[in-house]
Amino acid sequence: MISKYKTFPGGYKFTNISGQPQEKLVELKIPQIVIIPLKQGFGNEVPPLVKPGDKVKAGQIIGRDDNSVSSPVHSTVNGEVLEIKKINYFKQEINSVIIKSDGTPDWQPLEGHNADWTKLPVEKIEELVYLSGASSLDREGIPTRFKSSIILPQDVENLIIHGIGSEIYNLSLGVLLAGKKIFHFVDGIKILKTILPKSKVYLALNRYHKNLIEQISKLTSGLDWLEIQPLEPKYPQGYDEMLVPTLLGKKFPYGYSAANIGVVVLNIQAVLHVYEAVVEGKPLIERTIALCGEGFKENLHIKVRVGTPLKDIISQRLKENIEVRIVLNSLLTGVRLKDLSLPINRTYSQIISIPENRNREFLSFLRPGVKRDSYSNTFLSKFLQFFKKELNTNIHGEPRPCISCGYCEEVCPVGIIPHLIYRYVERNIIEQTLINYGIFDCIECNLCSYVCPSKIPLAKFIKDGQQKLINLGCDRSLRILPYFDLKGLEEYRGVK
């Protein structure tokens, strides 16, 4: 069933940005060395099950802990364990298994998988999803009886699967769902419904992908538990905090997760991994990643083994003679990737490379700006749509006093007033008023900073204000707990 188009107040639609990934997929060769962090995706770090000198197979579980909220971790290559050591990975010290590959591409399948998955008992399907590592995907994992999420399968009331493409750069659905993969995707949805039997399933897709919506609608006709929802691809529609109120009409407990209110949110690639685990017995040993931005020689998609060092992926693909900044997954909120010796993990979807530009531009606001993206109508790019907009790291102007233009208020997807909160925090007025103004409702999308014509880092001031309130003993849960019946609170707080 296809529902009527919905949207939310605020937000911003990025259009005609250069550096978008082509509908081209390249499979990278097996790496010589992989570094496998024992914490990937949702959940706690797991203890290693191997030691230096051990021979391992691709797909073999090398880390597992059934007693904590976690999912197994696998070797992604055939080879030998060289060492196990801690690495600084996303500001955490994580134990990692370093494996030397023998270069062979085969992998060890999971026992008990079945091409006719409908013949499998529910318990076996859950086990395959868990043992594959797919249960670690997205913000709160996929609930199974194996403590892979903070809630159990019977606690899930709604399952939201999304492929909206609201970020500046996005994976191509044409690549992810090419050929038979669209049938695999539909089967993946059915598998998830089987292990989450009480859930109503929503499939949120970009409303402009009409052919895809029509095709999936035909493949899912007769499924009264599935609702296809076309959505406007404006940022940050892909956030859990926006999907829940848009699709379900429910308030979101800001500061907590969708799982705390019985909702699981997954992206399309996660559903495909579920299919591969149950039907093909394939562990989560590789990812499809888009290489985006003007810093790459070619923007395309790659299929790469988890644990491959970044330098092996991008060093020969970056443009020469320019300095670039590498960012993970989102240009507005993603982590800057400085150490290219570190590996990719299960959470990678996009690697973004944009040119560094530190040059001061005199009277930048007077330039025509035919290749600049702007929320206001001050640049010609608003009217000359045939020019691709080019992004770099320059903010194109120095910070200036707030002019109360209201742009940040217009785009804020959760209805707070960033410039008003900024004035309090900037003057170090940390008091109850900030809580009343909804400072803890911020979802850190950074859109307010992006549209600010005065170049004020509004999102940073909001985050600083939150931390100062917390330091004074103000807890955001005081606003949340009286109004929500939250599930899995203890488990949520226990996940590191």
Sequence-distant contacts of 477-482: CB under 8 A, at least 24 apart: 477/255, 479/435, 479/440, 480/253, 480/254, 480/255, 480/256
User: What's the pLDDT band for 383 if we cut at 50, 70, 90?
Assistant: low
Residue 3 is encoded by which pair of tokens?
């529902």
pLDDT digits (tens, 9 = 90+) for 388-428: 888 989 887 778 899 999 999 999 999 999 999 999 999 99
Q: b/e per residue, 264-287, with b = 16+ CB within 10 A? A: bbbbbbbbbbbbbbbbbbbbbbbb
The answer on 52 and 76 residing in a single domain is: yes
The 10 Å Cβ neighbour count of residue 96 is: 26
Q: Is 409 helix (H, G, I), strand (E, B) or coil?
A: helix
pLDDT digits (tens, 9 = 90+) for 79-133: 999 999 999 999 899 999 999 999 999 999 999 999 999 999 999 999 999 999 9
**Mean pLDDT lowest among 4-13, 268-277, 386-395:** 386-395
pLDDT at 365: 58
Residue 269 and residue 157 share a domain = yes
Question: Which residues form the domain of 76?
Answer: 30-101
Same domain, 44 and 130: no
Half-sphere exposure of 360 (CA within 13 A, CB side): 3
Q: Are residues 91 and 124 in the same domain?
A: no
Find, among 208, 211, 245, 249, the residue nearest to 230 by Cα: 208
Structural contact between residues 150 and 43, judged by C-beta atoms closer than 8 angstroms: no
CATH of the domain at 40: 2.40.50.100
Please report which confidence band the pLDDT of residue 381 belongs to, taking 50, 70 and 90 as the band edges. low
Mean pLDDT of the chain: 93
- pLDDT tens digits, 316-333: 999 999 999 999 999 999
Q: If 0-12 CB within 10 Å is exposed, 13-18 middle and 19+ buried, where does residue 152 land?
A: middle
Give me the percent of the chain exceeding a pLDDT of 70: 94
What pLDDT was estimated at residue 362? 61
Last residue of a domain, one of 245, 280, 315: 280
**Residue 391 in domain:** no
The answer to whether residue 428 sits within a structural domain is yes
Examine residue 389 and state whether it is found in any structural domain, yes or no. no
State the pTM of this model: 0.95
- Among the residue ranges 141-145, 219-223, 370-374, 383-387, the one predicted with the least confidence is 383-387
- Does the residue 181 lie in any domain? yes
Count up the domains in the chain and report the number.
3
Residues 274 and 127 in one domain: yes
Q: Per-residue pLDDT averaged across 46-74, rounded?
A: 97
Structure confidence at residue 307 (pLDDT): 98
Q: What is the pLDDT of residue 95?
A: 97
Question: Cβ–Cβ contacts within 10 Å for residue 100, how many?
Answer: 14
Domain finish residue from 262, 280, 298? 280
Q: Are residues 77 and 146 in the same domain?
A: no
146 and 45 belong to one structural domain: no
Instruction: Note the maximum CA span of the chain.
Output: 69
CB atoms near residue 210 (< 10 Å)? 11
**Is residue 47 domain-shared with residue 166, that is, in the same domain?**
no
pLDDT the model gives residue 229: 96
135 and 68 housed in the same domain: no
Confidence band of 372 (pLDDT split at 50, 70, 90) = confident
| pLDDT above 90: percentage of residues in the chain | 83
71 and 138 inside one domain: no
